[in-house]
């Protein structure tokens, strides 16, 4: 793929048939991946927020309790070299978002054995998320809520069907995009495991086997588990409302 421009055909080729989801392998090069990881790991300790089962950095500013973004510049290793931002814009999936591209990135670090519970990303964002994976793979599951009329539904909270509706293997350097109903109606999560067992059919089936590297496909076909390493995910979204608080007036 021409890394400068992601043509709409490339995006169309990454479409997961039947879903508002796209998987684009090799969205950044090996050299760019190494550079990004080095920048992430050399950032000051104060940039990290530590959660019970992962660490993260927030780029582009904090979101207020009312859901608007107090903007901060995105890091140059995201906007200049490598220019991940304009590559994401070139996919045109943010064409209808208020700022025509992501203005906010949550960069998550997962060690082997860490994951993220099924959740929704919420209404403060335009309903598109593009996620760049670095350094290790993960298996990304989409889940649906149990039918409202079903007895299993708990009062107050909605129950989640344990069987994913769709699972994708996210290889390092790939971009996954979720939009439309995948964003607004379904949840997503990553199991907290040290190795993933995936297959081309049955309950651990992944839908993007044909887009994976040959070694990965061979491992899966041979029934080998895929060992997780540390993974960095850059989840890129457009916060619809931007606070005017940070507007600076020059004199």
Q: Which residues bind ligand AKG (CB under 6 A)?
A: 106, 108, 116, 121, 131, 140, 188, 190, 233, 235
CB of 175 closer than 8 Å to CB of 182: no
Nearer to ligand AKG, 116 or 207 (CB): 116
Tally Cβ neighbours within 10 Å of residue 241. 13
Please, which residues have CB within 8 angstroms of residue 108's CB and are 6 or more apart in sequence? 54, 55, 56, 116, 231, 232, 233, 235
Instruction: State the DSSP code for 179.
Output: E
C-alpha span between 162 and 88 (Å, rounded): 31
State the minimum distance, in angstroms, from the CB of residue 119 to Fe ion.
Answer: 6
CB of 2 closer than 8 Å to CB of 90: no
Nearer to ligand AKG, 153 or 161 (CB): 161
161 is a site residue for Fe ion (CB under 5 A)? no
C-alpha span between 117 and 187 (Å, rounded): 9
160 is a site residue for Fe ion (CB under 5 A)? no
Partner touching 131 among ligand AKG, Fe ion, none, CB below 5 to 8 Å by kind: ligand AKG
Half-sphere exposure in the Cβ direction for 161 (13 Å, CA): 15
State the minimum distance, in angstroms, from the CB of residue 208 to ligand AKG.
Answer: 14
State the minimum distance, in angstroms, from the CB of residue 56 to Fe ion.
Answer: 11
Q: Which of residues 103-132 bind Fe ion (CB under 5 A)?
A: 121
Structure-token pair, residue 155: 């009062």
Nearer to Fe ion, 10 or 121 (CB): 121
Partner touching 233 among ligand AKG, Fe ion, none, CB below 5 to 8 Å by kind: ligand AKG
C-alpha span between 238 and 56 (Å, rounded): 18
CB of 190 closer than 8 Å to CB of 196: no
Partner touching 108 among Fe ion, ligand AKG, none, CB below 5 to 8 Å by kind: ligand AKG
State the minimum distance, in angstroms, from the CB of residue 224 to ligand AKG.
Answer: 23
Partner touching 106 among ligand AKG, Fe ion, none, CB below 5 to 8 Å by kind: ligand AKG
Nearer to ligand AKG, 3 or 189 (CB): 189
Structure-token pair, residue 118: 């099924």
State the minimum distance, in angstroms, from the CB of residue 67 to ligand AKG.
Answer: 15
Interface ranges with Fe ion (CB under 5 A) = 121
């Amino acid at each position: 793929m021409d890394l400068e421009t992601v043509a709409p055909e490339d995006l169309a080729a990454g479409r997961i048939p039947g879903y508002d989801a796209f998987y684009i392998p090799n969205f950044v090069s090996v050299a760019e991946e190494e550079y990004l990881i080095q920048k992430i790991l050399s950032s000051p300790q104060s940039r990290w927020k530590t959660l019970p089962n992962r660490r993260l950095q927030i780029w582009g500013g904090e979101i207020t309790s009312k859901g608007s973004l107090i903007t901060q510049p995105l890091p140059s290793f995201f906007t200049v070299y490598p220019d991940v931002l304009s590559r994401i814009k070139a996919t045109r999936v943010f064409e209808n978002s208020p700022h025509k591209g992501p203005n906010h990135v949550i960069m998550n670090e997962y060690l082997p054995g860490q994951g993220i519970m099924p959740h929704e990303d919420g209404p403060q964002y335009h309903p598109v998320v593009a996620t760049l994976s670095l350094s290790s793979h993960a298996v990304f599951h989409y889940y649906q809520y149990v039918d409202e009329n079903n007895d299993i539904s708990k009062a107050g909270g909605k129950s989640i069907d344990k069987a994913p509706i769709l699972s994708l293997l996210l290889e390092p350097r790939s971009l996954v995009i979720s939009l439309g109903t995948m964003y607004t109606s379904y949840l997503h999560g990553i199991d907290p495991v040290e190795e993933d067992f995936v297959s081309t059919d049955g309950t651990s089936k992944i839908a993007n086997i044909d887009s994976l590297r040959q070694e990965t496909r061979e491992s899966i076909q041979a029934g080998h588990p895929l060992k997780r390493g540390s993974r960095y995910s850059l989840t890129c979204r457009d916060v619809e409302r931007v606070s005017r608080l940070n507007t600076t007036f020059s004199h």
